[in-house]
Amino acid sequence: MEIWIIATVAAAAVQTLRFMLQKRLKGIGLSTGGATFSRFLFAVPLAGLGVAVLMAWRGYDIPTLGGAFWAFAVMGGVAQIIATFCTVALFSERSFAVGIAFTKTETVQVALFSAVFLAEAVSGYGILAILIGFAGVLMLSRPPEGWLAGKILNRATVLGLLAGAFFGLSAIGYRGATIEIANPDPLFRAMLALACVTAFQTVAMALWLRWREAGEVTKVLGAWRATLPVGVTGVLGSLGWFTAFALQNAAYVRSVGQVELIFSILVSLFVFGEKPSKREIAGMGLLAVSIILIVAVA
């Protein structure tokens, strides 16, 4: 099995855990901004340590990071902050399931963004696989009351669409940033890009919170026992994504990453004893077919 597939599946598994941890932060008094900030704060020293270890172990030097690298890194970093804001805000919405479903439009949007920003077109079979996976995601994410019960275009839907779009842009930014690093080792490129991006995100978020939510940074630091695990799982998951982006088209990576939904269903089944419905089983089947097709054509 190719390294990018292993890295993607591992990242999706860790991301499932991270979202579970991050959802709890809203319950301990942190704002949406504070919960988002915790995602990046503790990731910076861990990513920096990873870069230092690789440099010492393999004798690497930090290459010159040009304007194109920083343009992609900043684009990806800002897009991820906005997407995370939207996702955390969804936790407070009654239409959470609907909103999360719309975040998964990311896979379709990434395919378009890849062609526009990176000139990396997805093949016809790849598009078919992505659409099959998207159909599976919709089946898995359908709310119990159905799609047509109430307004589809509500705050949760808008937040979900925005999150999907900005997660898609972040994937393109990170793919572009890793490509711009002059080093043949994908792990080093991923770790260096991750360290630079998380450092930028931490500074940007700290300045934003100081301006808009005075005292929130102190709250995050004071709740370090709850926020530290979020940072650790965040950096581990991001390392998996960045490594995959360093090796493969972002559209394929994010499509395979939808295995996260299957993980969530399995957790519900084996941890909480919740039996999946026939619709959920069918959705997992479509998603599995999509992932198999993507692995075959990528």
pTM for this predicted structure: 0.83
**Residue entry with tokens 């996260």:** 260
Contacts of 183 (CB under 8 A, 6+ apart): 60, 63, 189, 192
Contact 178, 193 (CB under 8 A): yes
Q: What is the DSSP letter of 27?
A: G
Q: Could you list the pLDDT tens digit for every one of the 298 residues in the chain?
A: 689 999 999 998 888 787 777 666 666 778 878 877 887 888 889 999 999 999 999 999 999 999 999 999 999 999 988 987 887 777 666 555 556 666 777 888 888 888 888 888 888 888 898 888 888 877 766 655 555 545 555 676 778 788 889 999 999 999 999 999 999 999 999 999 999 999 999 999 999 999 989 889 998 888 888 888 888 888 899 999 999 999 999 989 988 888 887 777 776 677 667 677 787 778 778 888 888 888 787 6
